[in-house]
Chains A and B, each alone.
Chain A
Amino acid sequence: MCSMIPHPYKIDRVIKETHDTFTLELKSCNGNGNFEFKAGQFNMLYVFGVGEVPISISGDPNEIDTLVHTTRAVGTVTKEIAKLKKGNIIGVRGPFGTSWPVVEAKGNDVIIIAGGIGLAPLRPAIRQIISQRKSYGKVVLLYGTRTPEDILLRRELERLRSRLDIDIDVTVDRATREWTGNVGVVTSLLSSTPFDPINTTVMICGPEIMMRYTISELEKRGLNHDNIFVSMERNMKCGVGFCGHCQYGTEFICKDGPVFSFTRIKDLFGKREL
């Protein structure tokens, strides 16, 4: 598939997740419907006549006949995507970028930390880990979001929790009394999560300030930077490192990222000039 030409995909299903987030299930309009990708990669989705936007793939890497994207209606293009219905056509370029270290983490404990819509890019990694559950030690998912109503993929989280072989903890920034779960920042969940700092791989996706605070807590717990992976977000345009829109110091988020080992970007992380 040429990386610069959008390929037509038909919307097979639209799932409303929360008041401002939704999932699209897409099928290729061409003969070969399979779309292979790695957990953590993204596609450029093109709404004809409106524009293109980078969206992480949120489907299962083992289910390649359907392409799944979960996003929030927040900008010009994503607001137009939110208006599309079953049967509409959308352009797809990709997959682009690096992936979560799902294979490299085998044998380790895995802690997945997501904030807000950041759960969507981690979903393929969660699915892949679950499909080979015995290859990993303890698996923990910590998720923070705004309110109980903003919990993304809620039914899936409930299903996962019922498996009993993955620890899931959710916290929200504020809630009414109906919510009996945790209220507080996502790092507050880390304090009650025991882990071995030598043999643990951590994957983090969320707002950059949340990732910064989370990494600082992980450092306090003795986790090595080599074992921390983050997904960065910038203004990706071409997807192949030509245009320079997503340049991040010496890196291009679209080509060298979006998933980085923290060791690789720690000198850039949090820099105001960037």
Chain B
Amino acid sequence: MDSLERILKDHPFVKNLSPDHIQLIVGCAKNIVFEPGRFLFKEDEDASEFYIIRTGKVALEIYTPEYGPITIQTLGNGEVLGWSWLVPPYEWRFDCRAVELTRAIALDGKCLRGKCEQEPKLGYELMKRLSSVFEGRLYAMRLQLLDIYSSQEPKQSK
């Protein structure tokens, strides 16, 4: 078994995907390592890859002219990163920087879109898994927006 295939099949995002589908994904995959401080991507750049993080930690950042870069989320072992490869115009919306030495599998976005078009069952399975990730992140982001640890009490509506 290919080492990439072995690594992929144990990752929580890919786990229990059929061997045929894993084979298809492996065709788009490469191993990648980011040293601490190195950017995985920057805002407005082409979103050409989807990352399956094996180990390490990366920070998603928004640059603000007033405060500089603000970290909005960190992602690490067993998580996935990026969905701008999936939706036009295929450009990153944020910066992403490795906080620790990070090992990941990078899947070529164009290649993966092609495989999903060719094999809709794989496409649907990936969409289901990505939707679950979106749902979790959206919920978490809404909680962060609530600023629940603030000492300022929200005004109650009458």
Contacts and interface: CB of A to CB of B under 8 A. Distances in A.
Interface of A: 20, 72-74, 115-117, 144-146, 150, 171, 173-177, 179-185, 187-188, 191-192, 206-207, 209-210, 213
24 contacts: A74-B153, A116-B149, A145-B149, A146-B147, A173-B144, A174-B70, A176-B68, A176-B69, A176-B71, A177-B68, A177-B69, A177-B97, A182-B57, A182-B74, A182-B76, A183-B73, A183-B74, A184-B140, A184-B144, A191-B78, A209-B143, A209-B146, A210-B148, A213-B139
Given A184-B140, A185-B143, A176 B70 contact: yes
Best-surrounded residue of A72, A181, A188, A207 (most CB of chain B within 10 A): A188
B68 A185 contact: no
B12 to A, nearest CB: 9
B151 interface: yes
A146 B149 contact: yes
Interface in B57-97: 57, 59, 61, 67-74, 76-78, 97
B23 to A, nearest CB: 28
Contacts of B99: 180
B16 interface: no
A183 B78 contact: no
A177 B151 contact: no
A33 B116 CA distance: 72
Ordered nearest first, which 10 A-B pairs have the shortest CB separation? A116-B149, A146-B149, A207-B148, A185-B140, A183-B74, A183-B71, A175-B71, A173-B144, A74-B151, A182-B74
B76 A115 contact: no
Interface residues of B, number: 28
Contacts of B70: 174-176
Query: B61, B97, B140: which has the most chain A beta carbons within 10 Å?
Result: B140
Contacts of B118: none
Given A174-B71, A191-B78, A183 B59 contact: yes
Nearest to A177: B69
Contacts of A72: 151
Nearest to A73: B151
A192 B76 contact: yes
B53 to A, nearest CB: 11
Contacts of A192: 76-78
B150 interface: yes
